[in-house]
Structure 1
Amino acid sequence: MQEIYDFLKKCQTYYLATMEGDQPRVRPFGTIDIFENRLYIQTGKSKSVSKQIAVNPKIEICAFDGSTWLRINAVAVRDDRKEPKEHLLNNYPQLKSMYSAEDDNTEVLYLKDATATFSSFTEKPRTIKL
């Protein structure tokens, strides 16, 4: 898990894919956190991505560092507790002007049943189950 977290932090931006009906939707994300031995991401409940995940919680994340790419498929599970929201926001203080652990918009989701695959053009893919 730490290796995946470190890779995503190094990339700074990763791309999160969801489904809206039969149409894939992809957008850049940047938040990643480890809390209670789970990987968490963050968004706002008012955003389309949140609504798409509520209908179909299966997501895929993709990131590239210039030589290696990481793909993660998982089920995104909403965690409405204050503690994981505070933890994530403390690691991303720049978000505190838009989000609060106590507002009705901040949403944190942990990755359940995740499979992460590191790939490159020079090595065999390596898969990690979380």
Structure 2
Amino acid sequence: MEKVVQFLKDAGTYYLATVDGDQPRVRPFGTAHIFEGKLYIQTGKSKDVSKQLHANPKAEICAFHDGKWLRVAGELVSDDRREAKASMLDAYPSLQSMYSADDDNTEVLYFKNATATFSSFTDAPETIKF
């Protein structure tokens, strides 16, 4: 999992895909953090992406860096604990101007039943499950 997070951080931006009814939705994200052995991302509860994930937690992220790409598919599970939110915000201090571990908007979610696949045009795919 550390390799997955490092790739996401090196890429800087990854794209999160969700489902809105029968319409796929994709948007850029930048948070990737390990807390208690799980891969977490962060958003705001007021955003459409949060509503989509609560209706259907299946999601996939994709990032590209140095000629390789990573796809992580799984379920995103909301973790409302203050400790999880604080850990994410400590890892991304720039978010602290918009979010707080104590507000009603900050949401952190972790991947459950995830499959990460590293791919390129030259190497065989590498798969990691967590």
Please tell me the residue identity of whatever aligns with 1:48. Answer: D
Matches within 5 A, 1:11-50: 11-50=11-50
Query: Is the partner of 1:113 in helix, strand or coil?
Result: strand
What's 1:107 paired with? Answer: 107
Provide the secondary structure at the position in 2 that maps to 1:40.
strand
Does residue 66 of the first structure (1) align with residue 48 of the second (2)? no
Q: C-alpha displacement at 1:66, in angstroms?
A: 3.0
Helix, strand or coil at the partner of 2:70: strand
Unaligned runs of 5+ in 1: none
Give the match for residue 94 of structure 1.
94
Alpha-carbon distance between aligned partners in 1 of 2:4 and 2:23, rounded to the nearest angstrom: 27
Displacement after TM superposition at 1:22 (Å): 0.5
**Are 2:130 and 1:125 equivalent residues in the alignment?**
no
Q: Secondary structure at the match of 2:71?
A: strand
- The C-alpha deviation readout for 1:79-109, integer Å capped at 9, x for no partner, is 0000010000011111101000000000000
Matched, 1:116 2:119: no
Pairing 1:5–2:5 present = yes
Unaligned runs of 5+ in 2: none
- Deviation of 1:129 after TM superposition, in Å, equals 0.5
What do you get for the CA RMSD once the two structures are aligned?
0.5
In 2, the alpha carbon distance for the partners of 1:33 and 1:66 equals 21
Q: TM-score, normalised by structure 1?
A: 0.99
**TM-score in terms of structure 2 length:** 0.99
SS of residue matched to 2:87: helix
Q: Distance in 1 between matches of 2:72 and 2:91?
A: 22
Structure 2 distance, partners of 1:125, 1:39, is 21
1:80 aligns with 2:80: yes
